[in-house]
A and B are shown apart, each in its own frame.
Chain A
Amino acid sequence: MENACNIIELKNIDLGFGKGSRRRILFRGINASVRSGQVVALIGANGRGKSTLLRTICSLIPVFNKEGRILFNGESLNSYSGSRLSSMVAYVPSRVERVNALSVRDMVGLNRYYKTNWCGKLRSEDEAAILHSLKLVGLDSFIDADCSTLSDGEFQRVAIAAALAQESGALVLDEPTAFLDIANKFNISQLLSYIAHNEGKAVIFSTHDLQYALKYCDRIWLMTESGEPSFVEGTASEIIAGGHINRLFSTPDIHFNSANLSFERI
């Protein structure tokens, strides 16, 4: 790809928790990058640190090691600057609060915090951005609806629209399909690919849907745990060829069949 810059680069990041003597490292030296127009699926077992990694990327928690760097468009965000951060990356948490009597317009408008005036009045460019985001997720007719009346699938789309309205270069989503039925899981995942490929955003999302990720996502970030915790990134075929997927299981008698993308017990 010509002229493609790495919109987010992770350089030598450690993941962990605790302070002082209770400091515990989960993962060491993660290196990865994502370009605009790419969808990355982050895969790993529960409790392995997927959410921690995503929250670290969004600066919700600091990088665990001093040497670790996160670069946005080649620049490090050293000091906390809310408006710069919000123009770089938008985050959709795994559970978004549903507020009673808050209209879809107002909820999506919240993500335009740094663009609206002092009391949050939506101007014409804000209205246009909100409408554009809602059109992308296919819910522009719901703009005046009350958030609390939406179905789970619809609400997840509104949450994604809110992140889109931030007009950031990258979108980070923590298990966006966790609580959805099969049809909604598929639709949301397809929507994320559409956003990356047609809106030129870098999209990173964590998921447990391995088959879908291998089939449709541009890159896979895999956090495995058999033996040493290890982080691998690559295209689906590289990941499969490297035999990394078997390492999602801690027992050696499970084998990943790359022909039909499923697991078998040997």
Chain B
Amino acid sequence: MKGGNAKYFILFSTAIVLAALLDLMTGSVSLAPSDIFSYLSGGSNGQAANSTLGVIMQFRLLKMLAALMSGAALGCCGLLMQTLFRNPLADPYILGISSASGLGVSIFVLGSSALGLGAGTMFHSLGIAGSALAGAFALALLIIYVSRRLKDNLSLLIFGIMVGSVASAIITMLQYLSADSALKMYVLWTMGSFSGLSVQSVAALAVMLLAGLLLSVLSIKDLNTLLMGETYAQAIGLNTGRIKIKVLLAATFLAGGVTAFCGPIGFVGIAIPHVARFIFRNSNHRILLPASILLGAFVMLIVDMISTCPAGGVLIPVNTVAALMGIPVILAIILKNRK
């Protein structure tokens, strides 16, 4: 790694720490940095946890961690998909993972309300996460099974999009049949949120995303050869079928995990790898992958901060902020490529 690149990585890491601090300070009650440090240094003895500061800090700490990890995961997953499909507009959900998770969630939400279940938020948040994961992994198994029969990645892409459309069609039908309260719950999930996750949920999210990130980092060399196309990778002697399954599994852990716990957060996943390419002007995944992870984490902390800015006590949905920040980047890429 050249000295110039190392400088950027140090800069990104510092920016993440600062953004995390700012994110902890922002909210309906503004905190001073000294409050945060006093909580973090004395938080372990249990006294602070019961104070107002402790309650606020625990809520914000979990929210901050969820945003940080989701950003890292989506940046990484966007890069995986753009390389696998060699398409600059591929996003983490291109294989239909968000639709499959959405189908799982809508079946759970609408089903549980129809069956008269649904007392307790704990039951709901765990149920939503579990059903989203079930949907994502069911799709992943289907795609891995089908990918052995499909000749190329383009067919895989078409298959993913078609499955996503089928899932959306079923979701629409379920929405039509559902009660207002269930519908609202589903719509809130689609808006994305990092708030209100329990310690257990954040821990589960961390396990999934770390698994996905680890798989991705172990695929750096394979991703580089995929840049040259599948035939080239095979000619070097690689088993591209196995690589595809590894990348698909990583994408399911990453996109599936984020979707399950925080909702289908869009645009960040497409935009981040392009920003990383723009900064480093290098297609080598040994640079691009860690850069996308760090940039994703940084940007998502900013998104979370903006979404919880005290605008008269009104929260802006995460997906709205992500779209407003991500779409200009995507447009800039398209315009630049047209030149």
Q: Do A and B come from one complex?
A: yes
Interface residues of chain A, those whose CB is within 8 Å of chain B, are 58, 60, 80-86, 90-91, 93, 96-97, 99-103, 106-107, 110-111, 113-114, 116, 118-121, 166
Are B283 and A119 in contact, with the CB atoms below 8 A?
no
A132 to B229 CA separation, bound complex (whole angstroms): 25
Are B235 and A58 in contact, with the CB atoms below 8 A?
yes
Closest residue on chain B to residue A163 by CB atoms = B235
- Kindly identify which residue among B232, B235, B284 contacts A102, using a CB–CB cutoff of 8 Å: B284
Are B237 and A97 in contact, with the CB atoms below 8 A?
no
Q: How far apart are A62's CB and chain B's nearest CB, in angstroms?
A: 12
Query: Chain A binding site: helix, strand, loop or mixed by DSSP?
Result: loop
Contact with A along B223-246 (1 / 0, CB 8 A): 011011101101111110000000
B184, CB-defined interface residue at 8 Å: no
A97 to B283 CA separation, bound complex (whole angstroms): 13
A80 to B241 CA separation, bound complex (whole angstroms): 13
B218, CB-defined interface residue at 8 Å: yes
Interface residues of chain B, those whose CB is within 8 Å of chain A, are 217-218, 220-221, 224-225, 227-229, 231-232, 234-239, 277, 281-286
Residues of B within 8 A of A93 (CB): 231-232, 235
Residues of A within 8 A of B284 (CB): 102-103, 106, 120
Are A103 and B282 in contact, with the CB atoms below 8 A?
yes
Are A102 and B217 in contact, with the CB atoms below 8 A?
no
Are A121 and B237 in contact, with the CB atoms below 8 A?
no
Evaluate whether A110 and B228 lie within 8 angstroms (CB atoms) in the complex, with A80-B239, A82-B239, A93-B235 already known: yes
Are B286 and A120 in contact, with the CB atoms below 8 A?
yes
- Kindly identify which residue among A80, A91, A101, A118 contacts B235, using a CB–CB cutoff of 8 Å: A91
Residues of A within 8 A of B286 (CB): 119-121
A119 to B290 CA separation, bound complex (whole angstroms): 12
Q: How far apart are A261's CB and chain B's nearest CB, in angstroms?
A: 33
Closest residue on chain A to residue B235 by CB atoms = A91
Evaluate whether A113 and B236 lie within 8 angstroms (CB atoms) in the complex, with A97-B229, A101-B277 already known: yes
Residues of A within 8 A of B234 (CB): 60
A102 to B86 CA separation, bound complex (whole angstroms): 14
Closest residue on chain B to residue A148 by CB atoms = B283
Are B231 and A120 in contact, with the CB atoms below 8 A?
no
- Kindly identify which residue among B218, B228, B235 contacts A60, using a CB–CB cutoff of 8 Å: B235
- Kindly identify which residue among B217, B232, B237 contacts A85, using a CB–CB cutoff of 8 Å: B237
Residues of B within 8 A of A110 (CB): 224-225, 228, 232, 236
Ordered nearest first, which 7 A-B pairs have the shortest CB separation? A82-B237, A86-B237, A91-B235, A120-B221, A102-B283, A85-B237, A101-B283
Q: How far apart are A174's CB and chain B's nearest CB, in angstroms?
A: 10
Q: How far apart are B64's CB and chain A's nearest CB, in angstroms?
A: 29
Residues of B within 8 A of A85 (CB): 237
A85 to B237 CA separation, bound complex (whole angstroms): 6
Residues of B within 8 A of A83 (CB): 237
A203 to B283 CA separation, bound complex (whole angstroms): 31
Q: How far apart are A205's CB and chain B's nearest CB, in angstroms?
A: 14
Are A120 and B224 in contact, with the CB atoms below 8 A?
yes
Residues of A within 8 A of B227 (CB): 97, 99, 102
Q: How far apart are A150's CB and chain B's nearest CB, in angstroms?
A: 15
A166 to B224 CA separation, bound complex (whole angstroms): 16
Closest residue on chain A to residue B86 by CB atoms = A97
Residues of A within 8 A of B232 (CB): 93, 96-97, 110
Closest residue on chain A to residue B229 by CB atoms = A97
Evaluate whether A60 and B231 lie within 8 angstroms (CB atoms) in the complex, with A101-B282, A116-B221 already known: yes
Q: How far apart are B258's CB and chain A's nearest CB, in angstroms?
A: 24
Residues of B within 8 A of A96 (CB): 228, 232
A100 to B274 CA separation, bound complex (whole angstroms): 12
Residues of B within 8 A of A107 (CB): 228
Closest residue on chain B to residue A81 by CB atoms = B237
- Kindly identify which residue among B229, B231, B238 contacts A113, using a CB–CB cutoff of 8 Å: B238
A22 to B277 CA separation, bound complex (whole angstroms): 46
Closest residue on chain A to residue B289 by CB atoms = A119
For B218, B232, B236, which residue has the most chain A Cβ atoms within 10 angstroms? B236
Instruction: Known A-B contacts: A60-B235, A113-B238. Give 14 more (CB < 8 A).
Output: A81-B237, A91-B235, A96-B228, A97-B228, A106-B283, A107-B228, A111-B236, A113-B237, A118-B218, A119-B286, A120-B221, A120-B224, A120-B285, A121-B286
